[in-house]
Amino acid sequence: MAIFEIPVFPGAAQKMALTLGENYYILFLYYVDEEEGGWTLDISLAEDVALIAGLPLLPGQDLLEPHADLGIPCRMAIFTPGEPDYKPGFNDLGAKTLLVYEPVE
């Protein structure tokens, strides 16, 4: 399978749409500026049905694996070239760190 980058702009909360399989998902990315905070993701269906709220974007893992029961047909991760354990700061996501997904069947 191919891996695709989700285009993200550094330093700003943002909302975007992504079609996976037969569903249309809304992704909302925002930064929590607290000691244990960081970039966070909410996912909903296009009909405003919340699926995941407050998912921290942590390196080195499939972000959706703990939510496999929801049937979202992809793996999703953050990736910083050359720094696999790097947790992105406010201005890093979309610049230094990429948000990527890999469709699964």
Q: What is the pLDDT of residues 43-77, one digit of tens each?
A: 999 878 999 999 999 999 999 999 999 999 999 99
Q: What is the pLDDT of residue 51?
A: 96
16-20 mean pLDDT: 91
d(CA 58, CA 7): 18
Q: What is the pLDDT of residue 48?
A: 82
The three-state DSSP-derived secondary structure of 49-102 is EEEEEEEECCCCCCCCHHHHHHCCCEEEEEECCCCCCCCCCCCCECCCEEEEEE
d(CA 27, CA 4): 15
Question: What confidence tens digit (pLDDT) does each residue in 22-44 have?
Answer: 899 999 999 999 888 899 999 99
